[in-house]
Amino acid sequence: MINKLRELNEKMLIKYKNDEKNLRKYQIIKEILNDDKCFFNIPIEYAYSILRDLEIEENKIKDVYKELIDSKNF
């Protein structure tokens, strides 16, 4: 799942390459996503915000988050 998020973020970096504010946001998200276990280290509010920024559907955010923090995935 983390790799899928990285791919989505790369698409956002391309999409917003000419929008300085959004570009910076997705650069920061890229830095966060470099750590495979990043969702263990950030508050749930930040995690949900990142998932929203990556355009994960609202009704799927909770399930995606649960999958990301499921320890058996590591």
pLDDT tens column, 23-56: 999 999 999 999 999 999 999 999 999 999 999 9
Return d(Cα 25, Cα 17) in angstroms, integer: 11
Instruction: State the pLDDT at residue 4.
Output: 97
Which conformational region is residue 16 in: left (phi greater than 0), alpha (psi within -120 to 50 degrees), or beta? alpha
Instruction: State the pLDDT at residue 72.
Output: 65
Tell me the residue ranges of DSSP E strands in 1-74: none
Instruction: State the pLDDT at residue 32.
Output: 98
Using an 8 Å Cβ cutoff, are 9 and 54 in contact? Answer: yes
Residue pointed to by tokens 């969702």: 39
Instruction: State the pLDDT at residue 73.
Output: 61
Its pTM stands at: 0.92
Instruction: State the pLDDT at residue 52.
Output: 98
Instruction: State the pLDDT at residue 74.
Output: 56
